[in-house]
Amino acid sequence: MFSRPTTPACHVMDPELLALDESMSFAELVRKLSFLFVETIGEPQTFDELRTSNAAKKLTPLITYLIDHTHGESIVAALLALKGHFESLEFEDEDGVNESRGYACEFVAWKFVTGLSEHDAIDHLCYEVSPESSTSDFYEASPSAQRGLRLGLENQPLLSRTSSHSRSQYGTNNVLGESSSFKDEDFLSQFYTLNALEVAALVGAKKFLKQRAVQKIITGIWKGDIVFWEKLSLHATKKAKTYNKRTADLFCRLRVPRYLKAFEVLFFASFLALYYTVLAQKAVDHVTVAEIFLYIWIAGFAYDEFGELQDAGFSFYLQDIWAAIDVLIVVDGFIFLVLRIVGLRMNSPEIIDTAFDVLALEALFLFPRICSLLSLHPYFGTLIPCLKEMTKDFVKFLSVVIILYLGFLTAFTMLARGVFTTKEMSWILIKVFFGSSYLGFDVAPQISKQLGPAIMLIFVILTNILLITSLISLLSNSLTKIMTHAREEFLFGYSVYVLEASTSNRLTYYLPPVNLIPLIFRPLRLLASAEQSRSARIVLLRLTHFPHVAAIWVFENGYDYLQSRSAGSSSWRSLGAPTASPNLKRGVLRPSPISPRPLATSSSLYASIDGSLPGPFPAATGQRAPAPAKEEDDDTRLLVLELGKQVEQLTAMVAQVQSDLQVKRTDVGQPKQQRSASSGPADEP
C-alpha cells in the first residue's frame, strides 16, 4: 500500500476545458483525455484507493462531464487505450504514478459504463475503433479488405515504447509541451479494428473487465443474447445488438461462443479417438483409413488456428492461455506427417517408428486441450493462470541454474578426465540436482581424491539447499500473488476466450474439419467476383453445417420449453428485452447515507463517496435520465467494511468513556464515606 503525502501533488482539472467533441478523431480524443489524467493523478494510488471518497473527488467531475456532454461511442475504448499507454510509461515517471493513472482510466471507464443503459453499454463496449474513416465505412468494406486492414496493423508493437528523444504526448509530466515528436498513430494503430472489450483485454485492464456491468455484456455474448452478425446474407454487416429470435438467421448461432466451445470439445474427442486408432493399428508399410482421417483433422485444426490468428491478431491471439498448446498440437502433427512420408518413401522402419513415437507425444497436448472446458469453471480457471505464471518464473529462474550447472560441469569433467565422459558426468550432476546427493558423494573420490569431495559438497549445498529452497519460495510467491486476485484472473481468461470466439470479421465461419471444403474451392475466387464468391460461401455453409444448426435449434427450443415450465427466469432477460430506452442513461453512482455533500457542482449533482447521483440529470442534457440502481457491487462491500471498522472503534471509545466515568464516580464517593466515618465518634456526647 502506498503512503499518501499530506498535501496533494496535483489539482483537479476542469474537464469542460477539454471541450471533447463527437467529431474528434480517436487520436485527438485520447490525447485530450491524457491531459486531464496527468493533471489529476500525481501520486501513487491503488485501484481500491481510487474508489474511496478522497480520491474519487478528483475523478467525479470527469465522470459527470462524460455522462452529460459526450455522446461518442469511442470514449470507453479511448480510456482503455490510454490505460495501456500509461502502463507502458511506468518506468519513465515516479514509481507507481503512471500505474495509478492507468487505474484511474479503468475506474472512469467502469463508472461511465455503469451510467449507461443496457443498449448504450453494448454500443460503447462493442464499438470498433477505426482510423480516420468512419466506422460505417469499415463495416461496408468487404471481409477481405477488413482482414487486410487488421493484418496490416498487426505489425505494430503491443505497447510502443519511446526513447528519451521521443517521449509520448500521452501521460508524462511534460505532457502539455508541444516539442514532442511522438506520432499519435504509431501508438494507436494497434487498437484499430478492435472493440473496447478487446482493447481492455489487450492492455490487461483486469480491474475493468471484472466489474459486473462489463461482465454482464460479456456473459450476454457468451450465451448468444448479444450477437455481432444477425443476418447471413450477401450484404450483411457486423454490428453488436441484442439477439432477436424472430428476425435473426439461425445459422448465425454458429458464432455463439458457448456453442463453439461445445463443438470444439466434440472435435477434440473425435481427434483423440482417431489418435488412439492410428497408434493401435500402427501400420508400418501402408496408410490406413483412420490415418487419412487423422491427417484431415490435423489440417482442419491448423487452418482454423490460422484463421483465428488472422481475425484476432497476433497480440490478442497470444492472450489465450491455450494458444501455445494449439500450436504444439499442429507442430507435432505435421512433424509426424513429414516423418511418415519420408519413412514410406525411403522404406525405412526406423524413420517410421520415430514418426509414431512423435505422434505418441500428441497425447501430452490433446488431453489438456479436451479438458480446457474446465477452465470455464472458477476453480480450474484460477489454477491455470497460476500454472502459467509459475512456469514463467521457473523459466526465468532456470537461467541461474544453468549458469551454475555449466560451471560445475566443466570443473568436474576436467577433474574426471579418463574416468567419466562429459555425458556421464552431466547425468550424474542432474541426478544430484534432483535429490540424489548420495550418488554425488559416492563418485566424488573417483573424480578427484583431493578436490572431488569438497567441490561436490559445495554443489550439493548450492543445489539441494539454496537453489531448491529459493525456487520453492519463488513459486509460492507467484501462487499467492495470483490467488490474491483469483477472480480477476479467472474473469480475464474467460473474457479473452469469449471475445476471441465471437468478434471475427468473417461473415461465414466453418467449423473444423469442414473448414477445408471452402479451401478447396478457394482458387475459384480468381474467376468469380467478390459477391459471387461470398454467395457461394454462404450456400456452402448452409449445406455443410445444417446438422450443427439443427442441434442448436433443438437445444434452444428445449431449453426455452423447460424454462417456461419452471418458476425461474433467465438471468439475461434484461438484455434480451431491454426495458430502458436506447437513448437513456442512468446515474453512474448510487446514493450513500455517509457523505451527501456535492462533488460536482458544475452539473448541480450531489454525489456520495462512491459517486452516486440521487437526483435527475439537468434538463440541458436532453436525453439523460436516471434509472434505479439496485445491484450491489464492490463499492458497497468496501463501504460496509469501512463502516464496520468505524463502528468497532466507536464502540471501544464509548466503552472507555463509560469506564472512565465509573472510576471518577467511585473516586468522588469514597472521600465522603471516609469523612463521615471519621467525624461520627467526635459528635457523640
> Residue holding cell 474467460?
494
* Phi-psi map region of 622: left, alpha, beta (phi>0 left; psi -120 to 50 alpha): left
**Which residues are CB-neighbours of 257 under 8 A, at least 6 positions away?**
221, 222, 224, 497, 498, 501, 502
Q: What is the pLDDT of residues 509-540, one digit of tens each?
A: 899 999 999 888 888 888 888 888 888 889 99
Closest CA to 74 of 115, 16, 30: 30
Cell of 188: 494507436
Residue of 65, 56, 144 lying closest to 104 (CA atoms): 56
Q: Quick count: other Cβ atoms within 10 Å of Cβ 202?
A: 23
Nearest to 428 by CA among 450, 455, 395, 400: 455
Residue 316 sits at φ, ψ, to 5 deg, of -75, -30
For the chain, residues with pLDDT lower than 50 are 1-11, 133-183, 569-632, 668, 671-685
Cα separation, 577 vs 67, in Å, equals: 24
The answer to whether 592 and 612 are in contact (CB under 8 A) is yes
- The whole-number pLDDT of residue 560 equals 84
pLDDT of residue 607: 37
Comparing C-alpha atoms, which of 431, 454, 453 is closest to residue 442?
A: 453
Q: Whose grid coordinates read 495509478?
A: 100
Q: Each residue of 271-292: pLDDT tens digit?
A: 999 999 999 999 888 899 999 9
- Say if CB 224 and CB 253 are below 8 A apart: yes
CA dihedral 335, 340, 345, 348 (to 10 degrees): 110
Helix (H, G, I), strand (E, B), or coil: what is residue 585? strand
State the Cα–Cα distance between residues 135 and 138, nearest whole angstrom: 5
CA atoms within a 13 Å half-sphere pointing along the CA-CB vector of 58: 26
pLDDT of residue 563: 84
Please tell me the pTM assigned to this model: 0.69
**Which sequence spans correspond to the domains of the chain?**
15-158+168-223, 257-376, 383-485, 635-670
Opening angle at CA 150, ends 161 and 157, nearest 5:
15
Q: Closest by alpha carbon to 219, among 121, 294, 135, 140?
A: 121
Q: What is the residue whose three cell numbers read 480450474? A: 380
H-type alpha helices, 525-626: 530-544, 546-565, 573-576
